[in-house]
Amino acid sequence: MSDIYEIINSLPEKEETKKLQIHLINHLEKEEMLLLALRSHKNSKDKQSLLKYFLETMSSILLNNL
C-alpha cells in the first residue's frame, strides 16, 4: 500500500499530508478504498483534489465527533 503514501506526499500542503497519513494509520479500512479511488484518476491534479476533499471531509467528521 505504499503507493497511497507516495500520492499523499505529492500534496503541496505538508501539514495536511501528516494529518491524512495519521488518519489512515488509525483507519486501515479507509486506506484501501482511498487508494482505489486515487488509482481511478489519471493525472496528479485530480488525485490531489480528491485527497484534499477527503481530508476536509475527514476533518469535519472528526470535529463533529468531539
Instruction: Summarize the confidence of residues 11-21 as an average pLDDT.
Output: 79
The radius of gyration computed from the CA coordinates of the chain, to the nearest angstrom, equals 11
pLDDT of residue 45: 86
Is residue 6 very low, low, confident or very high in pLDDT (cuts 50, 70, 90)? confident
Angle between helices 2-9 and 44-64 (to 10 degrees): 100
3-state helix, strand and coil shares in percent for the chain, rounded to the nearest 5: 80, 0, 20
Q: Mean of the pLDDT values across residues 28-39?
A: 87
Average pLDDT over residues 30-45: 87
Contact 61, 23 (CB under 8 A): no
pTM: 0.68
